[in-house]
Every structure is written in C-alpha cells, then in structure tokens.
Amino acid sequence: MPLLTHEMDLIQGFVAALKKHVRTQLRVAELINANCNSRAFADVEFKSVSKIHWAIEAKSNLSPDKHNAAHKIFGELLKETGRTNRKNCRHALLIPQDAVQFFSKKFQCVDRTKFVGFGKLIPINTVFTFGTAGIEQTTWLQLYDAYERKLG
C-alpha cells in the first residue's frame, strides 16, 4: 500500500466535509488543490465562501513512516512560507482526530518555547482534526499540550 494512501483518505474525507460545512469561513467555494502529491500547492488549498484562502498541510499517523511524520510537518509547513501566492492566506495543519495524542507526544520532544515560536513564524492559524466526529479545530499550542505524560 502506498505511503500516501492514508493521507489521501484523510484529505478526501476532510474536503467532502468542508464542502457541506455550515460555517462560511470553512465551506469550500473554490477548491484549488486536494492532493498530497502537489509541488505547487498545500495538500488542501481552497478559498472559502467568506473569501478566506486556506493552505493546509495534512499528515497521518497510519503509514509505516509514521514516526517521521511529526518531523516532516515542520518542513512541509515551512515550505508554505516560501510560496509567492500566500498573501492573506491562513495556514493550518490537518491530522486524524485519533492521532492527536500521537503527534502531541512526538512534538513534546521539541522544547515548548521553540515549538510555540515555530507556530508564530509560519503562522499556524489552526489545527484541524478530522474523523468520526467530523471536523474539529484546536490550536498549535493545544496540540503540543494534549499529551500528558504519566508520572509514577
């Protein structure tokens, strides 16, 4: 099974839900890209009904390469800042809802201050999660803090 299948499944489900979303800030008016193989666009890129340009990088925790996925997120988000068509664009991350703890635990290997600083550098406007509960949103910092280490 190709590594990108899990991300494409995530992207396709997310975009289908966005097309029916009640909030005009998130409902798709113009789909620019919904493919994790694009070199010119973010994995999910669209303009919403309320004219917000979203650039969203998607990552799954289900591939055999899942332990590198957390590290790849930084590079993929960073490349978005180098694109010339990003004026007034909102950047976001998309992960499966059931992967929040996985990614949070991986991110906690990074110093919290540096992690927060990275989220301001891009800037990451939101973290979308998608799964059986539909589309949910959290912040970059809340994603970092989601995993609580058990002491004892």
Domain 5-145 has CATH 3.40.1350.10: yes
Do 91 and 80 meet the contact criterion of CB atoms below 8 Å apart?
A: yes
List pLDDT tens digits, range 12-60.
999 999 999 999 999 999 999 999 888 889 999 999 999 999 999 999 9
What span, in angstroms and rounded, lies between the C-alpha atoms of 29 and 142?
29
Q: Where are the domains of the chain?
A: 5-145
pTM over 0.85: yes
Burial class (CB in 10 A: 0-12, 13-18, 19+), 133: exposed
Q: What percent of the chain has pLDDT over 90?
A: 70
Q: Are strands 89-96 and 53-58 parallel, antiparallel or unpaired?
A: parallel
